[in-house]
Amino acid sequence: MFRNLQKALAIYGGGNTGTEEPPIRDKSDLVEYLRHLVAVTVAYLAERKIDAAAIKQARGLEKVALLADAVEALIETDEAKREYLAKARAASRVYKAILPDPASSEFSPDVVLISVLAERIRSMMPKPDIKAIMQDVEDLLDRSVAPIPYETPDDPEVIDISQIDFDKLREKFDTGKKRTEAERLRALLNQKLTAMVARNPTRADFLERFQNLIDSYNSGSHNIEAFFKALVKLAEDLSEEEQKAVREGLSEEEKAVFDILTKPEPELSDKERDQVKAVCRDLLQALKDEKLVIDWTKKETARGAVRQAIEVILDGGLPDAYDETVFNTKCDTLYRHVFDAYQGGGESIYAAA
């Protein structure tokens, strides 16, 4: 689809496509192509028992409910979700290409519906770059070209994983749109895990566990109920993980250093664990005060000074449980973490958070 779409847009715009095909001299061919894309997409909706005409005619809460039902049907699997978003993106791009031609009015109701559904699906997905996500529909969703209103009220529930009422979450799943609720929780966990692993690399096993859940669901090994249950359990475990820093009496960045120095080895007594905590605090303070200068990662001498400080402070403060092999491994891992997490001059992923 996209190869044909890019070719059509390039030819229409007068670009050199490197083909033998003659250029399109007016918008008629592009209009016909849009008619084809819209028909294919509406048929795709119908195959999933989504009545596009009924949604366009509905008003108020009825429209909101029909849109929610449609989204639920379109996110049955990751493959189905990707397929619909690809169709919607193609229709949107060609529609924008023919604007402001009067012929566009023929397609406005369908294209707006198609794109609103896509927008709602994207709103539940991870948002590493919201500007890129919205670029495809920002022009199209100018409601001035839409002959019918599409109400999209803001969801008042902004879930903070540390304050999730898991019983209420399960109840909402049982009584609502199951795939929609699972998709929202999945997106939340994706964002949360990305941030948590960036701040503490020892949490990578949670990210692996999350990906395994998604792979199992997409392969059909889990139904939607089992998938949601597993996501909730992961959310509970992440909430518990976040509380560990508080119980240990450490800040988030101190906890990251502490975990690197203690996981998966060596075995430590309570007294030795307290000794390691003190080393974490001393090391971070020394690095911030003296070594993490602006652009330190770009300067060989500054990088060497940071690495040396790590080795010297750890060597002078860690308990005897750290043999030479373990010590060297910890120094390597800790240096990589500092390199990734601290930009210098007071800038770090912790300051950003």
- Residue 191: per-residue pLDDT: 86
Nearest to 74 by CA among 128, 123, 3: 123
237 plus 259 within the same structural domain:
no
Q: Is the pLDDT of residue 220 over 80?
A: yes
The whole-angstrom separation of Cα 348 and Cα 345 is 9
230 plus 263 within the same structural domain:
no
Tokens 């399960």 identify what position? Answer: 170
The whole-angstrom separation of Cα 344 and Cα 298 is 11
Whether 116 is in a domain gets the answer yes
- The neighbour count for residue 350, using CB atoms within 10 Å, is 16
331 plus 262 within the same structural domain:
yes
- Report how many domains make up the chain: 3
Residues 6+ apart with CB under 8 A from 149: 143
- Residue 351: per-residue pLDDT: 82
Q: Is the pLDDT of residue 133 over 80?
A: no
Whether 203 is in a domain gets the answer yes
Whether 320 is in a domain gets the answer yes
What is the pLDDT of the chain when averaged over all its residues? 82
98 plus 204 within the same structural domain:
no
- Per residue in 16-65, pLDDT tens? 333 333 344 456 788 889 999 999 999 999 999 999 999 999 888 888 88
pLDDT, greater one: 94 or 99: 94
- Residue 333: per-residue pLDDT: 94
Cα dihedral across residues 238, 240, 243, 244: positive or negative: negative
Whether 157 is in a domain gets the answer no
Least confident among 24-33, 89-98, 211-220? 24-33
Whether 96 is in a domain gets the answer yes
127 plus 175 within the same structural domain:
no
97 plus 140 within the same structural domain:
yes
Identify the domain boundary among 247, 263, 284.
247
Q: Is the pLDDT of residue 227 over 60?
A: yes
SS3 content of the chain, % helix, strand, coil (to 5): 75, 0, 25
Domain that holds residue 81: 2-145
Q: CB–CB of 349/341 below 8 Å?
A: yes
Tokens of 54: 């009924």
pLDDT band at 168 (very low <50, low <70, confident <90, very high): confident
Whether 108 is in a domain gets the answer yes
Identify the domain boundary among 232, 247, 262.
247
Identify the domain boundary among 223, 247, 271.
247
Residues 6+ apart with CB under 8 A from 189: 161, 210, 231, 234, 235, 238
